């Protein structure tokens, strides 16, 4: 069943998502694991793909595949049109003013490394300061640590406060004199929705450029890069029902124009001589080599699917599911369970990290897998945050459009089984 069959906007009459109908769009949810129905609760790591995305990519390979931009025969022109139409769709989805500001990368990690190498090494000098937060994914931490070692810059951090929120009481002091502020929009561990605009306004008042890691934001919330106050913004396809291997870096056109290329090779050049080269115009200046063409087609189909559901409906669904999960798990498991992050469901995305009894998260994950329930276990690429929380790792359940209360109940039952197994 395609999303267009779901009714007006792909949602139920009451304005919410009809999960039973949505589930039918995801073939993988039909399989069983260890003789039990699959309960997939790891979308913060990578989401599943609807049939429309799979079919769009297969159709491209079956009917249209050719390299883009340089061919003048029909297949190449059709492939180029699909690739660039995807870019236009991405721009509209995030509120960008021009598709020329949309650059395709492999993922958010590559996007931030691009910024660290191209913008950072061009405009930062020894003694300059960058402001990050204590809750960042390694993708928005390690590139700046590498730059710190290379250039001798200073890194500052907005601290974690109470209830999983950032402590912004010292924001004006910490942002004073910084050249760059780079923050996540939604924590992949705590689920915390970050007040990006408040931080961006303070950063701009101090003369800083703002980078936003939107990997967990774009799949779950309506996104407008201008309203956020971002100067650069990055997200990835595979967390938003799209394929792996494609990410997006959006940047203000004037900033991108002033940056040197990140990678060298084909397609990112206008001219090459034995003594030098002239880079291509935006966005191709930053897209060296054969790009992820089929993946761009799949990403466009994923955007179509999410727009059919409506991003406001996606967020409402996750708030309702958060509320049910927090209530159900707490009432059933009591003091055995510690849920990290904001207590208010509306203040968090569909991410629920927890500790259970004195069990190691890997043991929890293995027992849950035996019950058909997929959760992530580990440090979630946020080791400094784990240390700040006083834990080595957590188990993490993350919800999306194909999850419902029955999936939360299955998680709760599986935790009960883990308690019995290790008793």
Count of domains for the chain: 2
What string of pLDDT tens digits covers the 423 residues of the chain? 233 334 334 444 346 899 999 999 999 999 999 999 999 999 999 999 999 999 999 999 999 999 999 899 999 999 999 999 999 999 999 999 999 999 999 999 999 999 999 999 999 999 999 999 999 999 999 999 999 999 999 999 999 998 999 999 999 999 999 999 999 999 999 999 999 999 999 999 999 999 999 999 999 999 999 999 999 999 999 999 999 999 999 999 999 999 999 999 999 999 999 999 999 999 999 999 999 999 999 999 999 999 999 999 999 999 999 999 999 999 999 999 999 999 999 999 999 999 999 999 999 999 999 999 999 999 999 999 999 999 999 999 999 999 999 999 999 999 999 999 988
pLDDT of residue 188: 98
pLDDT of residue 1: 29
Residue at 50 is within a domain: no
Residue at 347 is within a domain: yes
CATH number at residue 386: 3.90.1150.10
| Residue ending a domain, choose from 307, 337, 361 | 307
CATH number at residue 227: 3.40.640.10
> Do residues 93 and 233 both lie within one domain?
yes
> Do residues 177 and 77 both lie within one domain?
yes
User: What range does the domain containing 386 cover?
Assistant: 3-45+311-422
> Do residues 114 and 221 both lie within one domain?
yes
Residue at 397 is within a domain: yes
> Do 233 and 212 contact (CB within 8 A), yes or no?
yes
> Do residues 35 and 68 both lie within one domain?
no
Residue at 400 is within a domain: yes
pLDDT of residue 6: 40
Q: Identify the active-site residue in 381, 386, 391, 419.
A: 381
> Do residues 286 and 322 both lie within one domain?
no
> Do residues 250 and 283 both lie within one domain?
yes
Residue at 199 is within a domain: yes
Catalytic-residue membership of 381? yes
């Amino acid at each position: 069943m395609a999303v267009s069959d779901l009714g007006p906007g792909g949602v139920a009459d009451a304005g919410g998502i009809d999960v039973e109908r949505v589930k039918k769009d995801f073939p993988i949810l039909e399989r069983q694991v260890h003789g039990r129905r699959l309960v997939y609760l790891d979308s913060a790591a990578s989401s599943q793909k609807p049939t429309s995305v799979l079919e769009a990519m297969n159709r491209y390979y079956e009917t249209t595949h050719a390299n883009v931009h340089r061919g003048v025969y029909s297949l190449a022109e059709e492939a180029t049109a699909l690739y660039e139409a995807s870019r236009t769709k991405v721009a509209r989805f995030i509120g960008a003013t021009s598709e020329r500001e949309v650059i395709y990368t492999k993922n958010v990690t590559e996007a931030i490394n691009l910024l660290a190498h191209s913008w950072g090494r061009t405009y930062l000098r020894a003694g300059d300061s960058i402001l990050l937060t204590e809750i960042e994914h390694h993708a928005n931490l390690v590139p700046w640590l590498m730059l710190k070692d290379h250039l001798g810059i200073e890194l500052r951090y907005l601290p974690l406060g109470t209830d999983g929120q950032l402590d912004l009481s010292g924001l004006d002091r910490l942002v004073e004199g910084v050249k760059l502020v780079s923050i996540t929009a939604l924590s992949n561990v705590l689920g915390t929705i970050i007040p990006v605009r408040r931080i961006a306004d303070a950063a701009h008042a101090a003369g800083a450029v703002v980078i936003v890691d939107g990997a967990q934001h774009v799949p779950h919330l309506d996104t407008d890069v201008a309203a956020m106050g971002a100067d650069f913004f990055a997200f990835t396809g595979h967390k938003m029902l799209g394929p792996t291997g494609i990410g997006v870096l959006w940047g203000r056109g004037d900033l991108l124009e002033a940056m040197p290329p990140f990678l060298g090779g084909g397609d990112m050049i206008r001219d090459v001589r034995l003594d030098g080269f002239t880079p291509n115009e935006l966005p191709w200046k930053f897209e060296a080599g054969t790009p992820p063409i089929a993946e761009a087609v799949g990403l466009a189909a994923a955007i179509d699917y999410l727009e059919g559901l409506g991003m406001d409906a996606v967020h409402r669904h996750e708030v309702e599911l958060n509320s049910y999960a927090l209530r159900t798990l707490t009432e059933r498991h009591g003091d055995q369970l510690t849920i990290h992050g904001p207590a208010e469901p509306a203040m968090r995305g569909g991410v629920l990290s927890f500790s259970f009894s004195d069990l190691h998260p890997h043991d929890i994950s293995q027992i849950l897998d035996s019950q058909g329930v997929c959760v992530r276990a580990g440090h979630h690429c946020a080791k400094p945050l784990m240390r700040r929380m006083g834990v080595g790792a957590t188990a993490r359940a993350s919800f999306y459009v194909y999850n419902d209360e029955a999936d939360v109940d299955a998680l709760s039952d599986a935790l009960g089984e883990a308690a019995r197994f290790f008793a």
